[in-house]
Amino acid sequence: MTKLSVNINKIATLRNARGGNVPDVLKAAVDCERFGAQGITVHPRPDERHIRYQDVRDLRPLVKTEFNIEGYPSDKFIQLVLEVIPEQVTLVPDPPDAITSNAGWDTVKNRDFLREVISEFKKAGIRTSIFVDTEFKNVAGAADTGTDRVELYTEPYAANFHKNKEAAVKPFVEAGKIAVEHGLGLNAGHDLDLDNLNYFYKNVKKLDEVSIGHALISDALYLGLENTIQMYLHQLK
């Protein structure tokens, strides 16, 4: 079974646009779980332009499924994760000013750095995942960092899906096989939506989890949050 983790960053973006607490990020997370989501993902950034560090602390006792914290492993981020102790931490190579995650780790070049950070999280009992592209050396190299899983960066798949879906998914099929052969769990995320998710799910085998935020929250504006989550879950069947 492939789990659906809902990234609630965009709900925080809307809240922050006006100040106050509307929409309520904490209630949204609880509702996502109530409507069937099997995880909640947040990605706090240094400028706290959407999810704030305090949101992460406040969410910890409320999330009853799987809490996944994404981010670049700065000292401040590492301290937050070790304070909160989520079920999973996903490491991304984003610079502080990145609008969104737009690349995977060079796991060969950054092996020692990642190994050190991952070791800290594993000592605390936190499952680790690292963001990677489909290049063989980066997927295989992830195993040398000590990570439990990789998360495939799926923007290239989404960008090319309507041009040639077979060609678009092929690198991800191969990357998934490499990950599994190296003993890694397999997550995926970025620009997956109601159009392209099911095809990805059917072709990329042994997929543990997908993390979806922007498209899902945007769909919910038209379709309602409960209905939208059910529609995404249906794509994973």
Walk along the chain (237 residues) and give the pLDDT tens digit of each residue: 999 999 999 999 999 999 999 999 999 999 999 999 999 999 999 899 999 999 999 999 999 999 999 999 999 999 999 999 999 999 999 766 555 556 789 999 999 999 999 999 999 999 999 999 999 999 999 999 999 999 999 999 999 999 999 999 999 999 999 999 999 999 999 999 999 999 999 999 999 999 999 999 999 999 999 999 999 999 999
Catalytic residue among 50, 66, 190, 209: 190
162 noted as active-site residue: no
* Catalytic residue, candidates 33, 70, 151, 209: 70
190 is catalytic: yes
Q: Do 95 and 105 touch, CB atoms closer than 8 A?
A: no
Taking the CA of residue 43 as centre, how many other CA atoms within 13 Å lie in the half-sphere pointing to its CB?
28
Q: How many domains does the chain have?
A: 1
How many CB atoms are located within 10 Å of the residue 72 CB?
19
Per-residue CA distances from 4 to 38, 189, 209 (Å): 5, 10, 6
The one catalytic residue in 43, 50, 66, 209 is 43
CATH number at residue 217: 3.20.20.70
Determine which helix (DSSP H) or strand (DSSP E) holds 70, and give its type and residue range: strand 67-71
Per-residue pLDDT at 139: 97
Annotated active-site residue 43? The verdict is yes
Q: 102 lies in which domain range? A: 3-235
Residue 95: the pLDDT is 65
